Amino acid sequence: MPTLAVYPGSFDPITLGHVDIIERCSKIVDELHVLVVHNPEKSPRFSSAKRIELIQESLKEAGVTSANIKVTELSSGLLVDYIRKVAAKLLIKGFRNNVDLDYELPMAKVNRDLSGIETIFIS
């Protein structure tokens, strides 16, 4: 069975760290959905459409042209709803330090409890 992973984020803006994670993950899964999500705690600088465009441009500039990468947005609903809809097996989360990890670990448990998805942490 093909492995589909979802890498969610606000990507506002996309960083070299994001591009690195996308490139590395695209090599270990069959399909990777880079999912632009709205964070209600942030005021975005760019629209979702512009962030998608910037992600695609950044990947192209970095030479990350894998056909298994799909850049899209979560326009409504919860992340777990999207995970169920596309039958994803893995959730990719990047972290910079222990503060990020302390925040993400409880979220990973909730996502696993709600959808059965496993979270992979990449630094």
DSSP string, 46-99: S-HHHHHHHHHHHHHHTT---TTEEEEE--SS-HHHHHHHHT--EEEEE-SSHH
- Residue 93: phi and psi, rounded to 5, are -135, 130
- pLDDT 10s per residue in the chain (123 long)? 689 999 999 999 999 999 999 999 999 999 999 999 987 888 899 999 999 999 999 999 999 988 999 999 998 889 999 999 999 999 999 999 999 999 999 999 999 999 999 999 999
Structure tokens at 41: 């705690």
Contact 28, 2 (CB under 8 A): no
- Residue 32: phi and psi, rounded to 5, are -125, 120
- State the pTM of this model: 0.94
Q: Write down the pLDDT at residue 41.
A: 81
CATH of the domain at 72: 3.40.50.620
β-pair partners for 92: 120
Q: How far apart are CA 12 and CA 45, in angstroms?
A: 7
Q: Write down the pLDDT at residue 30.
A: 97
Contact 50, 23 (CB under 8 A): no
Print the domain residue range for 50. 4-122
Q: How far apart are CA 98 and CA 14, in angstroms?
A: 21
Q: How many domains does the chain have?
A: 1
> What is the distance in angstroms between the CA of the first residue and the CA of the last residue of the chain?
27
Q: Write down the pLDDT at residue 58.
A: 98
